[in-house]
Structures are given as structure tokens and as C-alpha cells.
């Protein structure tokens, strides 16, 4: 194998792809030629912290102002034992109403609505009235410009409405709302209180460019009545929130109005255009196929990035069940808990590859912020060390437990004490807890009896769908590691990644039910495999997690020169860890055909251990345990497992679900035939209806989300450009178009691990070139896209040399461009505009 080592010294020149980003991104726009039938199909605008859907009724434009940092209750609540009753996000309703007698301003069949993803702008055109709305990226303000060209304009009402009654008591929880007017603006404040918990929010609304006066409409509504007149004026809607008692959130929201008003609508939208332009120019994907399927994938992919940019720049990540797009007040199926598997559909490697690691920061900030709570939970609940990050939890982690409850919980959950022997004190303590929380998920449903909630159990002792899941901590920690791999940020590795990696590794190493067996191997007992299997042995989720997290914590400790003694202990555990469970294991249920990975080994409390891994998690693929760089035996098992999901072939299957990772697995394995069917199938979804705004309500009422688009985006990136190592913690290898259908054309610029920006193009099944620009510098490893044949290498547009062989290595410096083409061709031959004009 010939390896060409290149060191580049001159500055980078322009690449081969000249991208018209405005033209490209506009293909994701949404255009309605009439009003939508339901509010959940409104058009989304947001600045990452606050947002809303915009929808119409015949006489009004409507919004519900939501925030990512408003939670009615925290982890210590005892007031929401009934499922789906806890709530979060909502701050207030805002209606821009045209109440005069006469023709409807927004008639159902004659109202044009357009979302421009290029600049985050919604335009609504009715009968001689136009409204434009967007969320300002810099401060928490939504601006709405109203242009009234009616022959006989009437008054316009800007209504600010409460989401609930002014005072609502739920057990020990109170929600208090108040409407007021200050200096010509109207303000709605909320305060949520339970014991020591507090959260407050405010929405302020003001008008610029037209006279208005504030009036109280009723106990739950205040309005600004705007003077009639032709022409334009602007409505500013600001919000603020926090967790500090006594803070004047109304003053904060009004201050946002005062910041925005002098710039006017034109100044704010120009500021936004600059921000969105920089956002879109970080990367791109351009796809085309004769049947239009690849083009529709591109539209959905771009829309996913737009939605994530609109709701992922705050203190907390957008929740999977509604994100910032609720329109029904406090109604939100699945409540205020975060669910790891669902969140991972939105916050995944697609965001790293797109160059937008900053959109992952809310998730990282939330997890790092609950480090102390997760550390205490590891000790109290499981008798372990490190940190316990459960599958489902509140935004502020897990609550401290009384010592007596913690001690009994350990004995019960680790099966040291029979479930039927639990104390009355423990039973009563559990009676007010949230059943969606991992800690209490053995709770099922219940009913109210004379004002008291009487719960029912699932019937499997301490087990429930998410009680004994530890893999979420490992999966989260691995994402911390990937952020380091993509950015090579040494401070991030030291200050943020390593504490999480170490915490998860120490949890596993000290977990009481991880024990060395007679075979000299460490086996983990009585744990889940995602939600379907409870109380199994050596489950795929937990073995994969340990095999994934231990190599990277060892590597991180080597880089940081930290914890040499612990490193030795981690290595001993890894070297002697039980293998991934397979169907040919003596303790597996009998299965014919080639050996495949399975959920876990018997005995099992609930579910079936010998069945295929859960398609929504596929843990073996998650941790880089199996890639195209892996050894042949691993790949043989991986392909056999993948094929087992489709006994009648992909075309004959029932499709894959919203949460499924099978599309990603197909991409990782280089299965272009499967990719061609599974990615569009997941985006279009046969599982649930797709709303007109490309969102879905897969999780139930008021749960607008794009989970399926996030999963498909991850699979898409991996099919276009892989940067996967032969195993966790090892150097990655770039492959372009490793799982791409031969009759789909594509161009892309994406970020790879090591901080390498990679651009490439494929036409009629032929890869034309690869361009690599290091963001930090270092060795780049590229699989030769031309079957190991001879290639010509250019640096900054100048020919440098030739090489051949399956693996090409480049030692490059920051911001220097390396171009690789098949020998005998010239890079300029492939220079083009994207999209092609």
C-alpha cells in the first residue's frame, strides 16, 4: 500500500463548489395557498430560546409564545403523580386580531403563507393585509410587521392571553399568572412554586409606528387597541424567564422591547439575515435524482437544520414532545420529562457533521449542570460511584432522597430485598412521584380516590421500561467525546468531556451487579435492554455501552495525563468484559441461521432476551463498535443482524419507524440498496401522518417534532461521508459516498472528526473529487474513493504529486486545501455552481 504524506504551507484557495446558499436553502421553504386546518400545522419561527408556530383564523393571526427554560416543576415535585399532567414551555398566547364587521381578513381559501428558511421569516398575505414575522437571533424578541392596505381600515387588537386561570393549585404546586400594562406595553407574568422550587416568566408586547392604548379585556386577557390607518407598523413581543425568586422578569422582557424598538423591523430583519447567512454557509448538502426522491430528502434535511437552529440555542435543549411549537397551552403528551431515546433523534451526530456543534450545547449544558445531582443519585439509588444519567429525567436531574428511602431503594432495585417486603414508608413515599421518571417507572397508572392519587404498579417488581437503563449515561458521554473529536478543543476535553466520561466509567466499574463470573469475565445482571426487555443478563445496551465508553475514557486520560491508576482498572475491566450477546451463546434462546446480536441473555423478567436488538437504539452501531473499518468477523455479525430485520427484503418490509436507527445502520454498513429505501421511508413515514409543516404528532396531542428527520439526517450524512474509526477511541478514516445509491447525484461540504471539512461530488455513480480543509491541522486518513487506484493530489489548486493504494494519509495544516482526483483528470473539470444554474 502506497501512502502519500503531505505537508502544506501556503494559504487555502477557493474550492471547486460555488454554492448559492439562498437558492439551495429556499428549496426547504413551506408555502401555503390557504389556511391550515389545525394550529399544529402553523409555520415555525424561533431564535433558539423562544419560539412559536404562526397560524391563522379568518379574523386573526395567532401565536403561542414558548421558551426552552420554563418548567412548571422540577425533579423534587410531589404534585404530578398522574401521567402527562406535568407541563413546561408555555408563556402566553398572542393574537393579532382584526375584529371589525365585514369580510374575513384571512379567508380560508385565500390566505397565502410562506416560511423562508433562508432567513427565518414568515409572510402571511390576506385580503389587503400582509404580516411578516420572525424571531430576532440576538435578543428574545419576535417582531411582526403589519401592513394594512384595506380601503376602510379598522382597529387592530393585539391580545395577550393567559394559558390558564390566574391561580391554579395542584397538590403542593401553584401556578400564578398576572396581566398588567406598563408605559404603553402589556405584560403577562407567570410564577410556578412548589416548596423550594421556583420558575418565573414574562411576555411583554408593544407597538411601534402606530398609536395604541392598553385595555383589559377580561381577567385572562389584556390587549393593545391599535389606531386605524393604512400603512405599516410593528408589534414587538419579548420574553424572559429564570429560576430566581424576586427577579423582575417583566422588567427584563420590557428591556428587550426597548433594545429592539430603535432598530425597527428593517434593522432587526437585516441583523437576522446576516446571522442566517453565516449559519447556512457552515455546510451544505445538495441532492438530485430523476424520480425526485433525493430532492425531497434534501428539502427535509434542510428543514431539520432550520428547526434545530430555531429551538436549540438556549439553556436547555428543546424537548422532543413539542419542542417550541406547542399551540394548546399546557397540554403536552408525555409532560415535562426528557426521554433520552427521543432526544437522541434530534440531538445526534448530524449536528456535528453539519458544522453546528453549537446546537448540541443546550444538551451538554443541561447534563453538565446536573452533574452533582447525578453523582448523588449514583450513590443513593445504586450504591455506586461516578454519575447516573437515567433514560428519563427532569431538566434538573434527580432529587435527593432521604437516607432511609435511599437505603431501601438500593436493596429493592438491586434485588437484595424481595419487592413484596418493601416498607409502608417506601410505598407512601413513591405515591406522589412521577411515573415517567426512570427512578419511579415501575409505577403504571392509577386513579383519584377522594382527592388522593392511588397508584397501580406494572407488576414486575422494581422494573419498568426505563428503570434499569444505564446506557443513556454512556451514550451521552460518548457525544461529549465526539464533540472533542470534531473540534479538537483541548479545553472542552479537559473541563467538560473528561468529568462525564470518568463519571460514567466509574459508575459501571462500581455497579454492585457487575461481577466477575467463573469464566473470568465481568457480567452485568438484572438490567434492561432499552424499553422492551427488563431484568436481563449481559444485555446488548449495557455491554455495548461499557465497550464503547471504556476505550475513550482510557484514551482521554492518556491525552490529559490523568488518573493513571484508574486507567489501569478501566483497562482490566475492558480486557475481561463479557462479549456482546449473540444468538449462539449457550444462555441465549435458540435461533436458527447465522449468529446475530440479541437483546440479552436469560433469565429475563419481562420481554425476550433472544430477540433482535431494539431497532430504535441499535447500541452496537452507536459506539463505533462496528464500522466499515472493523474486523471481518464483526462485520459479518453486523450484516447478519441487519438482514434479520428484513427477512422479506427492504422493499417488502413495512418500513421503519420514526425512532428507528436502521437507516443509520444501513449507512454505517455501506448498504446503499437499503439506504435508497430506508432514508426516504423514514422521512415520509408510514408510521404516522405528516403535518403540512413537515412535523408530526407521533407522541400524541401537542407533540410537534421532527424526530424522524433528525434520525434520517444522521443516516444521510453517514451515507454521504463517513468519518468512522475501527473502534472507539481509535483514529477515524474518511470515506466519501460509502453507502450512496448509484443513480443519485450529490454534492456536499460536511465536517468530519479531526476537524476536517470535506467536500465531494458524485455524478452518475462516479466520484469526481475530494477536497479536504483542516480546521485545526493534523493527520487526515482517507479511503481511496477509486478502488485503490492512482490519484493526483493538489494543494491549494497546484499539483503536488501522485499516490495509490487503499489508504491515503495527509499531514496538513490549518485552513489549507487538499484536492484529490483520479489520476489523469484535472480538478477544474469538476468546478460547478450549486445548485446548478
Q: What whole-number distance in Å separates Cα of residue 248 and Cα of residue 200?
A: 9
pLDDT of 95 above 70: yes
pLDDT of residue 808: 95
pLDDT of residue 653: 80
Whether 549 is in a domain gets the answer: no
Read off the CATH number of the domain in which 55 is found: 2.70.98.50
When divided into structural domains, the chain yields a total of 3
Whether 70 is in a domain gets the answer: yes
In this prediction, residues 149-167 reach a mean pLDDT of 96
In this prediction, residues 26-40 reach a mean pLDDT of 96
Q: Can you spell out the DSSP letters for 749-766?
A: EEEETTTEEEEEEEETTE
Which residue matches cell numbers 424567564?
241
pLDDT of 88 above 80: yes
Beta bridge partners of 234: 145, 208
Segment 749-793, tens digit of pLDDT:
999 999 999 999 999 999 999 999 999 888 999 999 999 999 999
pLDDT of 3 above 90: no
pLDDT of 67 above 60: yes
- Segment (H or E) for 112: strand 112-116
Greater model confidence, 251 or 14: 251
Read off the CATH number of the domain in which 828 is found: 2.60.40.1180
Cell matching residue 33: 395557498
Q: What whole-number distance in Å separates Cα of residue 295 and Cα of residue 276?
A: 22
Instruction: Kindly calculate the radius of gyration of the chain based on its CA atoms and give it in whole angstroms.
Output: 28
Instruction: Spell out the residues 6+ positions from residue 511 whose beta carbon is closer than 8 angstroms to its own.
Output: 382, 384, 470, 524
Segment 614-634, tens digit of pLDDT:
999 999 888 999 999 999 999
Burial of 290 (0-12, 13-18, 19+ CB in 10 A): exposed
Q: What whole-number distance in Å separates Cα of residue 142 and Cα of residue 135?
A: 4
Other C-beta atoms lying within 10 Å of the C-beta of residue 291: 10
Instruction: Spell out the residues 6+ positions from residue 292 whose beta carbon is closer than 8 angstroms to its own.
Output: none
Question: Of the candidates 279, 297, 317, which is a domain's last residue?
Answer: 279
* Strands in 411-468 per DSSP E: 443-449, 452-457
Decide: helix, strand or coil at residue 80: coil
Report whether 331 contacts 701 (CB < 8 A).
yes
In this prediction, residues 38-43 reach a mean pLDDT of 97
Q: What percent of the chain has pLDDT over 70?
A: 98
Q: Is the peptide bond before 668 cis (omega within 30 degrees of 0)?
A: no
Burial of 148 (0-12, 13-18, 19+ CB in 10 A): buried
Beta bridge partners of 54: 43, 63
Report whether 450 contacts 473 (CB < 8 A).
no
pLDDT of residue 301: 98
Question: Of the candidates 250, 279, 308, which is a domain's last residue?
Answer: 279
Other C-beta atoms lying within 10 Å of the C-beta of residue 748: 23
Q: What percent of the chain has pLDDT over 90?
A: 92
What is the chain's mean pLDDT, rounded?
95
Other C-beta atoms lying within 10 Å of the C-beta of residue 373: 20
Same domain, yes or no: 56 and 193: yes
Whether 219 is in a domain gets the answer: yes
Residue 588: pLDDT band (50, 70, 90) is confident
Same domain, yes or no: 402 and 273: no
Q: What whole-number distance in Å separates Cα of residue 532 and Cα of residue 70?
A: 32
Instruction: Select, from the ranges 322-336, 590-604, 641-655, the one with the highest average predicted confidence (pLDDT).
Output: 322-336
Report whether 79 contacts 432 (CB < 8 A).
yes
In which region does residue 601 sit, left (phi positive, over 0), alpha (psi from -120 to 50) or beta (all else)? Answer: beta
Whether 210 is in a domain gets the answer: yes
- Is the sign of the CA dihedral 36, 38, 44, 46 positive or negative? positive
Whether 320 is in a domain gets the answer: no
Burial of 372 (0-12, 13-18, 19+ CB in 10 A): exposed
Range of the domain at 799: 755-834
Residue 362: pLDDT band (50, 70, 90) is very high
Cell matching residue 611: 430477540
Cell matching residue 806: 487503499
Question: Of the candidates 229, 260, 279, which is a domain's last residue?
Answer: 279
Whether 652 is in a domain gets the answer: no
Whether 560 is in a domain gets the answer: no
Residue 836: pLDDT band (50, 70, 90) is confident
Lowest-confidence region among 49-58, 383-392, 734-743, 805-814: 805-814
In this prediction, residues 141-149 reach a mean pLDDT of 97
Whether 491 is in a domain gets the answer: no
Same domain, yes or no: 398 and 272: no
Segment 311-336, tens digit of pLDDT:
999 999 999 999 999 999 999 999 99
Same domain, yes or no: 117 and 258: yes
pLDDT of 26 above 90: yes
Same domain, yes or no: 261 and 397: no
Please state, in angstroms and as integers, the Cα–Cα distance from residue 117 to each residue in 61, 275, 309, 335, following that order. 20, 12, 10, 29
Segment 519-544, tens digit of pLDDT:
999 999 999 999 999 999 999 999 99
Q: Which of 534, 334, 335, 313 is nearest to 419 (CA)?
A: 534
Rounded to 5 degrees, what are φ and ψ at 684? -80, -30
Rounded to 5 degrees, what are φ and ψ at 254? -65, -35
pLDDT of 4 above 70: no
Amino acid at each position: 500500500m502506497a501512502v502519500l504524506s503531505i505537508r502544506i504551507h501556503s494559504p487555502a484557495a477557493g474550492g471547486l463548489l460555488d454554492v448559492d446558499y439562498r437558492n439551495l436553502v429556499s428549496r426547504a421553504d413551506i408555502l401555503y395557498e390557504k389556511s391550515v386546518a389545525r394550529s399544529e400545522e402553523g409555520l415555525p419561527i424561533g431564535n433558539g430560546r423562544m419560539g412559536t408556530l404562526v397560524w391563522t383564523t379568518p379574523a386573526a393571526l395567532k401565536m403561542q409564545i414558548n421558551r426552552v427554560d420554563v418548567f412548571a416543576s422540577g425533579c423534587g415535585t410531589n404534585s404530578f403523580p398522574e401521567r402527562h399532567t406535568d407541563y413546561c414551555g408555555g408563556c402566553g398566547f398572542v393574537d393579532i386580531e382584526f375584529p371589525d364587521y365585514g369580510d374575513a381578513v384571512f379567508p380560508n381559501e385565500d390566505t397565502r403563507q410562506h416560511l423562508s428558511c433562508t432567513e427565518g421569516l414568515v409572510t402571511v398575505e390576506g385580503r389587503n393585509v400582509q404580516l411578516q414575522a420572525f424571531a430576532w437571533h440576538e435578543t428574545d424578541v419576535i417582531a411582526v410587521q403589519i401592513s394594512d392596505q384595506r380601503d376602510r381600515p379598522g382597529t387592530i387588537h393585539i391580545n395577550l392571553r393567559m394559558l390558564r386561570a390566574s391561580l391554579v393549585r395542584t397538590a403542593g404546586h401553584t401556578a400564578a399568572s398576572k396581566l398588567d400594562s406598563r408605559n404603553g406595553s402589556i405584560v403577562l407574568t407567570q410564577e410556578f412554586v412548589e416548596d423550594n422550587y421556583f420558575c418565573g416568566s414574562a411576555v411583554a408586547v408593544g407597538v411601534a409606528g402606530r398609536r395604541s392604548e392598553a385595555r383589559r379585556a377580561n381577567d385572562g386577557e389584556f390587549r393593545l387597541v391599535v389606531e386605524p390607518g393604512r400603512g405599516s407598523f410593528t408589534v414587538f413581543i419579548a420574553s424572559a424567564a429564570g429560576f430566581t425568586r424576586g427577579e423582575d422578569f417583566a422588567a427584563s422582557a420590557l428591556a428587550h422591547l426597548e433594545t429592539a424598538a430603535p432598530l425597527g423591523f428593517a434593522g432587526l430583519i437585516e441583523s437576522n439575515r446576516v446571522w442566517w447567512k453565516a449559519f447556512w454557509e457552515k455546510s451544505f448538502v445538495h441532492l438530485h435524482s430523476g424520480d425526485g426522491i433525493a430532492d425531497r430528502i434534501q428539502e427535509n434535511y434542510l428543514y431539520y437544520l432550520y428547526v434545530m437552529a430555531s429551538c436549540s440555542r438556549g439553556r436547555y435543549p428543546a424537548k422532543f414532545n413539542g419542542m417550541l411549537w406547542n399551540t394548546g397551552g399546557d397540554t403536552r403528551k408525555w409532560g415535562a420529562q426528557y426521554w433520552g431515546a427521543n432526544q437522541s433523534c434530534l440531538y445526534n451526530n448530524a449536528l456535528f457533521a453539519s458544522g453546528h456543534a453549537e446546537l448540541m450545547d443546550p444538551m451538554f449544558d443541561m447534563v453538565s449542570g446536573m452533574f452533582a445531582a447525578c453523582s448523588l443519585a449514583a450513590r443513593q439509588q445504586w450504591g455506586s460511584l461516578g454519575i447516573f444519567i437515567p433514560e428519563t429525567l427532569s431538566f434538573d436531574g434527580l432529587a435527593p432522597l432521604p437516607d432511609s428511602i435511599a437505603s431501601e431503594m438500593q436493596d429493592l432495585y438491586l434485588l437484595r430485598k424481595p419487592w413484596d417486603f418493601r416498607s409502608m414508608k417506601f410505598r407512601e413515599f413513591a405515591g406522589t412521584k412521577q411515573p415517567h421518571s426512570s427512578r419511579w417507572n415501575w409505577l403504571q397508572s392509577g386513579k383519584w380516590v377522594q382527592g388522593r392519587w392511588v397508584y397501580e404498579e406494572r407488576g414486575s417488581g422494581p422494573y419498568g421500561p426505563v428503570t434499569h437503563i444505564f446506557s443513556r449515561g454512556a451514550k451521552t458521554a460518548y457525544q461529549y467525546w465526539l464533540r472533542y473529536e470534531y473540534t479538537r478543543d483541548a479545553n472542552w476535553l479537559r473541563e467538560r468531556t473528561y468529568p462525564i466520561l470518568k463519571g460514567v466509567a466509574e459508575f459501571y466499574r462500581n455497579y454492585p451487579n457487575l461481577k466477575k463470573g467463573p469464566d473470568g469475565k465481568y457480567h452485568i445482571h438484572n438490567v434492561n435492554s432499552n424499553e422492551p426487555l427488563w431484568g436481563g443478563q449481559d444485555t446488548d445496551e449495557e455491554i455495548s455501552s461499557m465497550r464503547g465508553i471504556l476505550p475513550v475514557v482510557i484514551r482521554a486520560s492518556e491525552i490529559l495525563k490523568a488518573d493513571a491508576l484508574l486507567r489501569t482498572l478501566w483497562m482490566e475491566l475492558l480486557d475481561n468484559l463479557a462479549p456482546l450477546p449473540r444468538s449462539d451463546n449457550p444462555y441465549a434462546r435458540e435461533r436458527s441461521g447465522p449468529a446475530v446480536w440479541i437483546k440479552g441473555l436469560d433469565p429475563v423478567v419481562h420481554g425476550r432476551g433472544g430477540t433482535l436488538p431494539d431497532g430504535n437504539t441499535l447500541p452496537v452501531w452507536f459506539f463505533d463498535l462496528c464500522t466499515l473499518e472493523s474486523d471481518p468477523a464483526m462485520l459479518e455479525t453486523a450484516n447478519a443482524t441487519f438482514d434479520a430485520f428484513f427477512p422479506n427484503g427492504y422493499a417488502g418490509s413495512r418500513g421503519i419507524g420514526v425512532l428507528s436507527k436502521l437507516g443509520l445502520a444501513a449507512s454505517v454498513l455501506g448498504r446503499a440498496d437499503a439506504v435508497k429505501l430506508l432514508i426516504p421511508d423514514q422521512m415520509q413515514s408510514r408510521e404516522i401522518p405528516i403535518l403540512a409543516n413537515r412535523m408530526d404528532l407521533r407522541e400524541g396531542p401537542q407533540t410537534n417534532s421532527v424526530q424522524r428527520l433528525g434520525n434520517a439526517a444522521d443516516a444521510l450524512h453517514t451515507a454521504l461521508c463517513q468519518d468512522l474509526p475501527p473502534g472507539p477511541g481509535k483514529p477515524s478514516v474518511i470515506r466519501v459516498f460509502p453507502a450512496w445509491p448509484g443513480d443519485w447525484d450529490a454534492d456536499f461540504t460536511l465536517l468530519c472528526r479531526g476537524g476536517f471539512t470535506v467536500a465531494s461530488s458524485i455524478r452518475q455513480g462516479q466520484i469526481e473529487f475530494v477536497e479536504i480543509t483542516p480546521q485545526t491541522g493534523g493527520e487526515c486518513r482517507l479511503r481511496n474513493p477509486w478502488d485503490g487506484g492512482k490519484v493526483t493530489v493538489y494543494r491549494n489548486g497546484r499539483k503536488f504529486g501522485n499516490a495509490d493504494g487503499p489508504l491515503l494519509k495527509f499531514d496538513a495544516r490549518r485552513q489549507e486545501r487538499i484536492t484529490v482526483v483520479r489520476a489523469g483528470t484535472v480538478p477544474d473539470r469538476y468546478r460547478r455552481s450549486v445548485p446548478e444554474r
